């Protein structure tokens, strides 16, 4: 029997999700506006943004639960239109933040119920596959009421996998989970990714997005930035190397001012003897800096490329938005 993801036909080069100028308003309130992006098949695409940024509304719109106010989109190869709703829902699955299980039913009974509701064929095999995909085969007969939040989330994921979706929307799948349970969900997402399932993941956990996502979009009603975590870091932050020497350099400009690959230098904010160098290529610059420091007779303590995390990118961007809105 094939596993989740492996039986999904690999579609043409058309994107799994393509959004063009999409807007959703609730009366006078704009949930999201003029959003455009594309997600390729097989991608894990992260959707980040502060509370109220429009993430859930985007997922609900792409999942055909809400009609957009304007703009267009295709989802799993079909134009997002009311008359395509049934067929789109057949090709995708949405796991909302709360898994919505019947707590008085067992794990297997829940899955049987939803497989019936979705009018799926071959139910027994699908349920077995979904349980295997989330490592819950052994717990099929347990009542959902008795399961921890992390395990319920896994049942919710199994429910979403029943239809072997081409695109899986996960809305905050690790919200409220402890680090161990969250790690288990991460591992499951990685397994699904390795099987080629396309995943659209909304999350507040930036380390989660950094670890799991091929690309991320940062939303704040409008789409603010999109790219791989590394691209976003490079776009927002210049590359730099931090130099630490035992004693402050008597004449740092003489040592650091004319080095190949070093664009500028400044004294580090934290400690005497620390310098921050803006560079084009950290590895190339590091050897030139090390030689120059040693030639100047200084004791080199450390020379480290500054690492910016996706969290740095996010905070910088959202801070800019907050400043702009208070102007
Ligand atoms: N059914 C609705 N009716 C009116 N306004 C709504 C409705 N659903 C969402 N909104 C508004 O749309 C905006 C975006 O909400 P949404 O839930 O999509 O944000 P979010 O990014 O998912 O936030 P969070 O991270 O808190 O879940 C908010 O201002 C919200 O109040």
Which pLDDT does position 11 carry in this prediction? 56
The rounded Å distance from CA 221 to ligand 1 centre is 10
Q: What is the mean pLDDT of residues 224-230?
A: 91
Q: Is pLDDT above 70 for 106? A: yes
Residue of 24, 46, 47, 55 to mutate, ligand 1, most atoms within 8 A of C-beta: 55
pLDDT tens digit sequence for 128-181: 999 998 889 999 999 999 999 889 999 999 999 999 899 999 999 998 888 888
The rounded Å distance from CA 216 to ligand 1 centre is 20
Q: Is pLDDT above 70 for 7? A: no
The rounded Å distance from CA 145 to ligand 1 centre is 29
Q: State the complex-level ipTM.
A: 0.96
Atom of ligand 1 nearest to the CA of 53: 21
Q: What is the mean pLDDT of residues 25-47?
A: 96
Give the pair of three-digit tokens for residue 64: 């055909």
Q: Is pLDDT above 90 for 55? A: yes
- C-beta 29 within 6 A of ligand 1: yes
- C-beta 57 within 6 A of ligand 1: yes
CATH architecture of 238-305: 2-Layer Sandwich (3.30)
Give the closest residue (by CA) to ligand 1 atom 28: 52
Residue-wise over 60-94: b if at least 16 C-beta within 10 A, else e? bbbbbebebeebebbbbbbebeeebeeebbbbbbb
Please compute Rg for the chain using Cα positions: 25
Report the DSSP beta bridge partners of residue 155.
Answer: none
Per-residue HEC secondary structure of 47-68 comes to EECCCCCCHHHHHHHHCCCCCC
Indicate the pLDDT class of residue 91, thresholds 50, 70 and 90.
very high
- C-beta 54 within 6 A of ligand 1: yes
Q: Does domain 17-228 have CATH number 3.10.290.10?
A: no
Only one residue has tokens 């695409």, namely 45
Give the pair of three-digit tokens for residue 69: 């106010």
Segments making up each domain of the chain, as ranges: 17-228, 238-305
Report the DSSP beta bridge partners of residue 106.
Answer: 143
pLDDT tens digit sequence for 205-226: 888 898 999 999 999 999 999 9
Look up residue 205 and give its DSSP letter.
Answer: -
Q: Which of 189, 104, 103 is nearest to 149 (CA)?
A: 103
Cα 169 to Cα 185: distance, rounded to the nearest angstrom: 14
Residues, the chain, total?
A: 327
Residue of 22, 48, 54 to mutate, ligand 1, most atoms within 8 A of C-beta: 54
Q: Which residues contact 78 (CB under 8 A, 6 or more apart)?
A: 84, 87, 88, 91
Q: Is pLDDT above 80 for 47? A: yes
Q: Which of 169, 238, 188, 232 is nearest to 206 (CA)?
A: 232
Indicate the pLDDT class of residue 124, thresholds 50, 70 and 90.
very high
107-117 vs 149-161: helix crossing angle, rounded to 10: 30
Look up residue 161 and give its DSSP letter.
Answer: H
């Amino acid at each position: 029997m094939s596993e989740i993801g492996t039986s999904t036909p690999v579609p043409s080069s058309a994107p799994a999700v393509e959004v063009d100028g999409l807007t959703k308003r609730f009366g006078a309130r704009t949930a999201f506006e003029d959003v455009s992006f594309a997600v390729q098949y097989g991608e894990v695409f992260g959707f980040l943004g502060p509370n109220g940024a429009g993430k859930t509304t985007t997922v609900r719109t792409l999942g055909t639960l809400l009609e957009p106010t304007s703009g267009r989109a295709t989802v799993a190869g079909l134009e997002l239109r009311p008359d395509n709703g049934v067929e789109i829902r057949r090709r995708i699955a949405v796991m909302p933040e709360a898994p919505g299980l019947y707590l008085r039913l067992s794990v297997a009974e829940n899955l049987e119920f939803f497989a019936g509701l979705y009018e799926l064929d071959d139910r027994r095999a699908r349920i077995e596959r979904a349980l295997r995909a989330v490592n819950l085969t052994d717990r099929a007969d347990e009542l959902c009421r008795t399961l921890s939040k992390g395990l319920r989330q896994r049942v919710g994921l199994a429910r979403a996998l029943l239809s072997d979706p081409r695109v899986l929307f996960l809305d905050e799948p690790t919200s409220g989970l402890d680090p161990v349970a969250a790690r288990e969900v991460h591992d499951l997402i990685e397994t699904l990714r390795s099987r080629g399932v396309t995943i659209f993941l909304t999350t507040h956990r930036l380390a989660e997005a950094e670890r799991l996502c091929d690309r991320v979009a940062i939303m704040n009603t409008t789409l603010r930035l999109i790219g791989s975590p590394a691209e976003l870091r490079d776009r927002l932050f210049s590359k730099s190397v931090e130099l630490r020497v035992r004693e402050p350099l008597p004449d740092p400009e003489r040592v650091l001012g004319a080095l190949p690959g070093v664009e500028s230098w400044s004294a580090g904010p934290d400690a005497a003897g620390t310098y921050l160098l803006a560079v084009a290529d950290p590895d190339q610059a590091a050897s030139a800096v090390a030689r120059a420091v040693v030639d100047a007779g200084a004791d080199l303590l450390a020379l480290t490329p500054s690492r910016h995390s996706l969290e740095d990118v996010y905070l910088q961007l959202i801070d800019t938005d907050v400043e702009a809105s208070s102007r």
